[in-house]
């Protein structure tokens, strides 16, 4: 995991249901510079599919999906 640095911003979406984590992630990504990393914490079961699809469509890189037990942790690098 040496190519993964500390995220510039962290977004806590625990307790939020679809589509709110996706909306908040999209908004947070808009405030980042290209190459910066956003950490998203979410416990919505749809979040992994939603964020994976969003990152691919928007030109970002989903660099980590990590199971934290009661939630998942995502790291997304801004692509463009």
Task: Please list the active-site residues.
Answer: 18
Nearest to 77 by CA among 57, 63, 66, 56: 63
Nearest to residue 42, comparing CAs of 31, 57, 54?
Answer: 54
CA dihedral 48, 50, 52, 56 (to 10 degrees): 180
């Amino acid at each position: 995991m040496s190519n993964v640095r500390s995220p510039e911003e962290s977004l806590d979406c625990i307790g939020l249901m679809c589509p709110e984590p996706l909306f908040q992630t999209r908004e947070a990504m808009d405030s980042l510079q290209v190459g910066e990393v956003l950490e998203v914490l979410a416990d919505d079961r749809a979040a992994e599919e939603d964020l994976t699809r969003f990152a691919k469509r928007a030109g970002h890189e989903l660099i980590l999906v990590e199971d934290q037990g009661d939630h998942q942790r995502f790291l997304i690098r801004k692509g463009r």
